[in-house]
Amino acid sequence: MRQETAVDGFRLAYERTGAEPGRPAVLMLHGWPGDRTDYTAVASPVSAVADVIVPDLRGFGESDKHDADPGAQYNAVAQARSLVAPIEELGLARPVLVGYDIGSRIAQAIARDRPDLVRALVIAPPLPGIGDRILQPGAQREFWYQAFHQLELCTELIDGHRDAVRDYLRHFWSHWSGPGYEPASRHLDHLVSVYGQPGAFAASIAWYRAGAGSVAASLTERVPAPDRRIAVPTTVLWPEYDPLFPREWSDRIGDFFAAARLTWLDDAGHFSPVEAPDAYAAAITAAIADTRGAI
């Protein structure tokens, strides 16, 4: 399916399952380097009780990709604009927003700026509260790619070169995941098919070129006043083995969220909806149950 109304010239592709009258809605937002298939194993059980919509974000998968100013068209606020449109277009009554990686940042942006549209959040890192800890040597050894993505050399070496795309993406899917997880060849084949097209990899890293990556976001964050915290009920799923976001960085969630519940995802790494789909599905259905009637 494709979004009918373009926003800033972008139309999103999405999958929808479980659509039945009266059901609560769930909108699932993927990460980098992934696409809407990140939630395949989560969407199936959740669609038994909810209307589930899983889009490709701007610049990803089958959604539109434009050579546009990253700072204006690919940051969290711009990505959020593209998602508010299908919420309204499809008549979704305050969906639960689910996100990890960049999808988490975008879900938070919607909940912060349009809380009237959101029933609850179910999110994994990144979250605010990291601050300048992201400059620690150990963290910078992990976040090197965000500076690399700013260089034209990055796209010259990778964009449109399918073998390079495969090697680059395989590094992250292997290194960021938990012990015992290794991306299947079929999964990598799919990612290469969408990231390996000319211009696709460049579009995917426009998020970082917009200054929306965790390094830039963490260094500019400010603790809001209590009445400016994200107010919608929030479930935070924090993986055990995410090399980007160690669990000790979860200590300041309460400074940014008015009603957040922290849940550990044992044995999972950064790609948490792929690695722990049952836990995700359970958290989403619990969020639906806890907020039933909040329309």
- What 155-158 contacts at long range (C-beta under 8 Å, 24+ apart), as own/partner pairs, is 155/201, 155/202, 155/205, 158/201
pLDDT digits (tens, 9 = 90+) for 215-237: 999 999 999 999 999 999 999 99
CA-to-CA distance for 85 and 81, rounded, in angstroms?
7
Query: Region 256-283: what's the mean pLDDT?
Result: 97
**Which secondary structure element, helix H or strand E, spans residue 67, and what is its range?**
none
Percent residues over pLDDT 90 in the chain: 92
Residue matched to tokens 């604009």: 81
Give catalytic residue positions.
101, 208, 270
Angle between helices 102-113 and 76-89 (to 10 degrees): 70
Q: How confident is the model at residue 292 (pLDDT cuts 50, 70, 90)?
A: confident
For position 294, what pLDDT does the model report? 57
CA-to-CA distance for 39 and 147, rounded, in angstroms?
28
202 close to 58: Cβ distance less than 8 angstroms: no
| CATH of the structural domain 14-290, one choice from 3.40.50.1820, 1.10.10.10, 1.10.132.20, 3.40.190.10 | 3.40.50.1820
C-alpha pair distances (Å), 291 with each of 119, 229, 258, 288: 7, 19, 15, 5
pTM: 0.96
Residue matched to tokens 């494709």: 2
